[in-house]
Amino acid sequence: MELRAFAEQVLFATSLEEKLRAPDAITDEYPGSPLVTPDAPGRPQQLIFKPHAAGKSEFPGLHELEKKSERGKLLHFFGNHELLATELMALVLLKFPAAPAAFRKGVLQTLKDEQAHTRLYLERMKSCGIGFGELPVSGYFWRRIAPMEHPIDYVAGLCLTFEQANLDFARQFARSFAAIGDDETSQLLEKIYRDEIGHVAYGLKWFRRWKNPNESDWEAFCRTLKFPLSPQRAKGLSLNFEGRRAAGFDAQFIAEINVYSQSKGRTPRVFVFNPFAEGRIAEGKTFNPTRHQAQLARDLENLPQFLCRQDDIVLTHQKPSVEFLSRIKSAGFPLPEYVETNNVGDLKNRKLGSLRPWAWGPDSFDLLKPIFASVTGEKRDNEKRFNPKIAQLYSKSWSAEFLRRIISSKKESWLCTENEIGVTVNSVEAMLDAVATIRARGHHQIVVKEAFGVAGSNALRLFEPAILPAQLRWLENAFARKRELVVEPWLERAQDFSIQLEMTAEGLKLCGYTGLLNDARGQFIANFAEPHHHKRIPAKIISLFREPADISNRLLEFYGEVFSALKIELRGIDFTGPIGIDAFIYGTESGALKLKPIVEINPRYTMGRVLVELMRQTFQNSFGSFRLANAAQLRAEGFENFPAYAQMLAEKFPLQLEGEPLPRIRAGALCLNDPATAQVCLAIFQVSRAAAVIFS
C-alpha cells in the first residue's frame, strides 16, 4: 500500500476500524502533491469535535481515580489525544510530500505506535464501562497543529509540545493508577511513557536539523511556537527531568521549561511594579527619581510575582534568571509569565483579565493604555482607571481630612484627638500659624510633609525653637512649586502597623494586618505577620496596651467603622484595587499609649500587602517577616555583596517545607529578588515557628 493512500485512510475514514488499521507493507514511491488542510479529520459521528463551548468534559483529578467512572473518563481523554496524534501524523504526511524520506518514515512508524496506543486505551476504557464517544471530545490539538506551514511546525507543536507534556502525564498517572491497584492501566501508561520518550527524541532530532543553528534549542522552540501554543503546554503538573534527559534535551532547555509560565486558558491579569506614582502625580512628566531610587525600583521590579497567580503576567525590564526562578519555584511559589515592558504592545492580541499595576497613576496609565482594549475580564471605563479624584487619594491631606471626620465624635481614651491630625497649608504664613497653634498645645516638635511624595522623602522636621533659614528656604521652594504641605505634631511612635484591603465591585475586603518597621525618615525597613494576621491586629500591637483583651475587640470594632466609611468614599469615585492604611501606637508625656489609626491611606499595593500574599505559602501558625537589606547594612555585617549575604541566609536559615499534597514553608529565609543582579536592595522573606526569630 502506498503511504499516501494509507495516510488518506487514517485522516478521512469515518470508522475507527479503518482509522486504526495498518497494512504490513507500505511504500512511499508516489507521495503526490501537498494537501490543503481540511477543517477537521473524518470521524465517526460520536467522535466529531464539539464546539468550543458545548458539552465540555472536565478532566478528572488525581484524587478521583478510585472511582471506576472517573478512570474511564480519564482514559477517554487520553484515547482521544492518541487518535488526534494519529490523524495529525497522517496530515503531515499529506501536507509535506517533499519532506525528507527519513523524516516521513519516522512519522509513519510513530503513527503506527499511536494507532496501537489508541486501541489499548479503547480496551481499558471499556473495562471501566465507558465507550469511546460517550463523552464530548475536544479538537484542540487539531486546531493548534493542523495549520502548520512547515514540518518544523509539526515537530515543535506535536512532538516537542504535546508529546513532551505526555512525559509528565504518562509517568504521573502510571504511578497514580498503580497506587490505587489498577496495575493493568499503570503498565499501559508505562509503555506509552517509554514510547513517548522515543517520539520526543525523534522530533527533537529533526527540530535541531531545521532550526536556526545560531539559536539554542530553547530560543528556537519559543520562536517557532505560534500563539496560543507556548512552552507551558509542553509540561504537566510536575516536571519529569529524567524523561526529558532521556529524550535528549539539554540542561538549559530543561531548566528554562521548568520555570516557564503562560496561561493555558484563564485570561491573565497584568501586573507591573511602578513605585513612583505619587511623584508623577505631584510633578507630572518632569518627575525623575534619584539614581538610588531608580535602581531600587529596578532591583524590586519582580515583586508583583508574589501578588499574582501562575497564569498571570508580570511586566519587567528584564526577565529574572532561570536560576533565581528555579529557587522561587522550589519554595512552592507559582511562577507567572514575564513580558518585558518594551514589548507591552505584544499583549494587544491577547485576551487579558484585568490590569493590576502597583499603583494607578499617570505612569501606569500611559504604560498600559495600549492594551486597554484587550481587557475582557472586567467591564470598566478606561478613563476611570485613573483620574483627578483617584489622584487625590494619594494625598496626605486627603487622609488627614478623612481621619478628622472619623474621630470627630470619638472620645476614646486610647484614640488620638483632632489635635494630633495634620493640617493642610498653602503658604508660609499659614504654615507658621499652624506651627504656632500646635506648639501652643504643648507639641514642640513638628513634622511638615508634602501632600504628595515618595515614602520617607519630601518631609521636614521642625525640632528647633525657631525655624532655621535652610528650613524656611525648603518651605518657600515647596510653595513656589504649588505644593500643599501637611503640618502635624511629631509623635513618639511605639509601634507601627498596616492594614491591607482590597476594594472590589462587591465591597471593601480585609486582606490582613501586618506590623511595620520604618526608619527615622519614615522609609520602609520591614514588616511582620503573625498567625491569624488575616483577621487580627498583631498581638505585638495589642500587648502594648494595659488591657489587651478588651482593646483588641474595641480596635476591631473601630476599624470596622473606618472600613465602612472608606468604602463609601471609594465607591463614590469608582475606585477598585488594593488599599493600604498605615497606623501607629504612640506614647504621650503622661506615659499613656494612644492610637493614631490613619497616618496615610495608600491607594496601591504596599510591602505589607506583599507580606500578606507571601504568608499564603506558609504552613499554618507560622510567623513571617518581609524586609529590605541595603548595601550599607551588608557591609556593616561584614559581607562584600548580595550573593554572599544570600549564601549566609541559605546556610543559616535553610527552607523547611511541610504538608501534603502541596508543601508550604515552615521555616527559613528566601531572597525575593535575584542577589546576583541586585545593586542596592535585597528583599528577604523569613518564616519561623516562633515570634522571637521574626522580631529579633
- pLDDT tens-digit readout, 560-619: 999 999 999 999 999 999 999 999 999 998 888 999 999 999 999 999 999 999 999 999
The residues facing 621 across adjacent strands are none
Chain position carrying cell 512519522: 107
Residues in CB range of 422: below 8 A, 6 or more apart? 396, 397, 400, 449, 486, 487, 488
Mean per-residue pLDDT over the chain, rounded? 93
3-state class (DSSP) for residue 501: strand
Cell matching residue 510: 480585609
The answer to whether 363 touches 376, Cβ cutoff 8 Å, is no
What sign does the dihedral 463-464-466-468 (CA atoms) show?
Answer: negative
The yes-or-no verdict on residue 51 having pLDDT over 80 is no
The pLDDT of residue 456: 54
The yes-or-no verdict on residue 169 having pLDDT over 80 is yes
Query: Residue 505's CB: how many other CB atoms inside 10 A?
Result: 9
The pLDDT of residue 662: 85
The pLDDT of residue 430: 96
The yes-or-no verdict on residue 264 having pLDDT over 90 is no
Dump pLDDT digits (tens) for 423-454: 999 999 999 999 999 999 999 999 999 998 76
Residues in CB range of 100: below 8 A, 6 or more apart? none
**H runs (alpha helix) in 573-676:** 607-614, 631-636, 642-652
State how far the Cα of 609 lies from the Cα of 510, in Å rounded to an integer: 11
State how far the Cα of 366 lies from the Cα of 448, in Å rounded to an integer: 31
Give ∠ CA 230-227-83 in degrees, rounded to 5: 70
- Rounded to an integer, the average pLDDT of 341-364 is 94
656-658/664-671 β-pairing: antiparallel
State how far the Cα of 220 lies from the Cα of 305, in Å rounded to an integer: 26
Residue among 78, 82, 61 at smallest CA distance from 180: 61
Fold of 3-21+61-259: Ferritin (1.20.1260)
Q: Please return the burial class of 616, using the count of CB atoms within 10 Å of its CB with bins 0-12, 13-18 and 19+.
A: exposed
Dump pLDDT digits (tens) for 468-501: 999 999 999 999 988 899 999 999 999 999 999 9
The pLDDT of residue 95: 97
The pLDDT of residue 694: 64
Dump pLDDT digits (tens) for 605-642: 999 999 999 999 999 999 999 999 998 899 899 999 99
Which pLDDT band holds residue 30 (cuts at 50, 70, 90)? very high
**H runs (alpha helix) in 274-313:** 277-283, 291-299
pTM of the predicted protein model? 0.88
Which pLDDT band holds residue 265 (cuts at 50, 70, 90)? confident
Cell matching residue 630: 541595603
- Give me the amino acid identity at 85: A
The answer to whether 251 touches 360, Cβ cutoff 8 Å, is no
Dump pLDDT digits (tens) for 381-404: 887 889 899 999 999 999 999 999
Which pLDDT band holds residue 55 (cuts at 50, 70, 90)? very low
The answer to whether 183 touches 196, Cβ cutoff 8 Å, is no
Dump pLDDT digits (tens) for 57-105: 566 666 678 888 889 999 999 999 999 999 999 999 999 999 999 999 9
The pLDDT of residue 53: 43
Which pLDDT band holds residue 54 (cuts at 50, 70, 90)? very low
State how far the Cα of 65 lies from the Cα of 46, in Å rounded to an integer: 25
The pLDDT of residue 590: 86
The yes-or-no verdict on residue 520 having pLDDT over 80 is no
The yes-or-no verdict on residue 673 having pLDDT over 70 is yes
Strand runs labelled E in 137-236: none
Dump pLDDT digits (tens) for 171-211: 999 999 999 999 999 999 999 999 999 999 999 999 999 99
- Rounded to an integer, the average pLDDT of 487-516 is 95
The pLDDT of residue 275: 94
Chain position carrying cell 491577547: 350
